[in-house]
Amino acid sequence: MDQVAVSAASGLRARMEALDMLSNNLANATTGGYKLDREFYSLFSSDEDLGINDEGTPAKLPVIQSQWTDFSQGILTPTGGPLDVALAGFGFFKVKGPSGPLYTRNGSFQISSAGVLTTQEGYPVLGVDGQPIMTQSESPIQISPDGTITQDDMPLGQLAVMDFKDRSVLGKQSGSYFTNLNPKVEPQAATEVTVEQGKIENSNVATAESAVRLVGLMRQFEMLQKAITVTSDMNKQALQEVAKVGP
C-alpha cells in the first residue's frame, strides 16, 4: 500500500480513538467528580510490520501512545444538602463496589432504606474502619472537615478519604469511579484534603475547550480522509495510464 495512504489511515485511527475519548468527556461534563481523559501522541516504527519506505528508513505511523487522566480539582458548588460532600484537595471517597473497593470524588450521597450511607448508585460509603457508615435515625447528619460524621450528637464514624502516591494505578470504571489496577500499590489516608459538607465537586471537563478540540479533530479527520482519497485516485490513474502503454 502507498506509504501516504498508510500514514493517513494510521492518523485516522488515532483521531478516532481521540474522538471516542473526547465524546466520553463531553458526555460526563455534568457528572459530579468526573475527571477528564487526555491523549499523548507518538510515532510507531516497526521494520517487520510496516516495511521500509522509499527513503530506505523504517516507516513511522502516528498513534496514541497513552491515555492519561487529569486529576485536577473541579469547581466546588454549594448545594446546601446535608448529604452532599466535596473534597477540597487531593483524595477520594472509598466505597464498596460490586467487585471490591472503588474510589470516587462524587460525594452526592444518600441514605438507603436500611440506614446505610451510599452513593447514588447504591454503593455503601466506607469509614476509616473499612465498614459502611450506618445512621441511627432520620435526623440530619453533620460532617466535620476531617470527615467525622455525627447524628444527634452521636458519632457514626469517619469517612475514609484515600489517596495514591502514583495515581496512574487507578483505572476508570463507569461514571466517576476508579479502581486500583495494581493490588501491590496500597492506598493511603489522604492528608492534604478537607471535607466540605453541603457542596458538590463539578466535573473538571471544560466544555468550551472540549468543543474547540472536537472541531479541530473533525477537521484533521476530514483532511486525512481527503489524503487517502487523493492517493487512491492517483494510484488508479497511474494504473490506467500504464494499461494504455502499447508496443
Q: Are residues 83 and 175 in the same domain?
A: yes
Mean pLDDT of the 192-221 span: 89
Nine-digit cell string for 21: 475519548
Domain of residue 209 covers: 3-72+205-244
Q: Are residues 61 and 92 in the same domain?
A: no
**pLDDT, tens digit (0-9, with 9 covering 90-100), for 95-126:** 999 999 999 999 999 999 999 999 999 999 99
Q: Are residues 84 and 188 in the same domain?
A: yes
What is residue 66's predicted lDDT score, i.e. its pLDDT? 60
What is residue 239's predicted lDDT score, i.e. its pLDDT? 65
Confidence of residue 19 (pLDDT cuts 50, 70, 90): confident
Residues in the chain: 247
Please tell me the pTM assigned to this model. Answer: 0.77
Q: Are residues 180 and 239 in the same domain?
A: no
What is residue 180's predicted lDDT score, i.e. its pLDDT? 96
The beta-carbon contacts of 40-47 under 8 Å, at least 24 apart in sequence, are 40/64, 40/65, 40/66, 40/67, 40/68, 41/14, 41/65, 44/10
More confident residue, 3 or 151: 151
Q: Are residues 47 and 134 in the same domain?
A: no
Q: Are residues 159 and 226 in the same domain?
A: no
Query: What Cα–Cα distance (Å) separates residue 238 from each residue in 52, 136, 231, 244, 245?
Result: 22, 81, 11, 10, 11
What is residue 207's predicted lDDT score, i.e. its pLDDT? 87
Number of domains in the chain: 2
Mean pLDDT of the 20-28 span: 88
**pLDDT, tens digit (0-9, with 9 covering 90-100), for 60-102:** 555 544 678 999 999 999 999 999 999 999 999 999 999 999 9
More confident residue, 124 or 47: 124
Q: Are residues 215 and 184 in the same domain?
A: no
Mean pLDDT of the 163-183 span: 93
What is residue 155's predicted lDDT score, i.e. its pLDDT? 95
In contact, 165 and 191? CB cutoff 8 Å: no
Q: Are residues 83 and 138 in the same domain?
A: yes
Q: Are residues 126 and 81 in the same domain?
A: yes
Q: Are residues 132 and 240 in the same domain?
A: no
What is residue 15's predicted lDDT score, i.e. its pLDDT? 74
Per-residue pLDDT at 52 exceeds 50: no
What is residue 38's predicted lDDT score, i.e. its pLDDT? 84
Q: Are residues 196 and 81 in the same domain?
A: yes
Q: Are residues 42 and 138 in the same domain?
A: no
Mean pLDDT of the 145-170 span: 95
